[in-house]
Amino acid sequence: MTTSSTGTDGVDPAVREELTRLRDSIDNIDAAVIHMLAERFKCTQQVGHLKARHQLPPGDPAREAKQIARLRALAESAKLDPAFAEKFLNFIIAEVIHHHERIAESSASG
């Protein structure tokens, strides 16, 4: 195989077509993931405002642990590495808590 800007020069056209089909599917899935994350963060923003109004802490370690266990089990049943699923959820949780802290700070100052 030769090197090019597309990485598919010299590749059998049927292989190139299959690669394009698979990449199109990946692109569609990526778009769906982004839209689902956006919806999730809209909900967590509402949770953050509710917590701020009632002086609740930004994080909920018991809920987070329950969610991690739940996602690990879902990952296993989906044949996805549970450790990866946990890392992914921990990343999201950290971002949500950060948002909740900012919401609480804004609520307290204004």
Q: Give backbone dihedrals phi and psi of 59, rounded to 5 degrees, phi first.
A: -105, 160
Cα–Cα dist 100/107, whole Å: 10
Q: What is the pLDDT of residue 6?
A: 59
Looking at the chain, the whole-number percentage of residues with pLDDT higher than 90 is 86
| pLDDT (0 to 100) of residue 4 | 44
Chain segment 30-81, per-residue pLDDT in tens: 999 999 999 999 999 999 999 999 999 999 999 999 999 999 999 999 999 9
> Torsions phi, psi of 73, nearest 5?
-65, -45
* Amino acid 9: pLDDT: 76
State the Cα torsion 100-102-105-110 to the nearest 10°.
-110
| 102, 51 contact by CB (below 8 A) | no
Instruction: Give me the mean pLDDT over the 104-110 stretch.
Output: 89
Q: What average pLDDT is seen over the chain?
A: 93
Exposure of 9 in the CB half-sphere (CA atoms within 13 A): 5
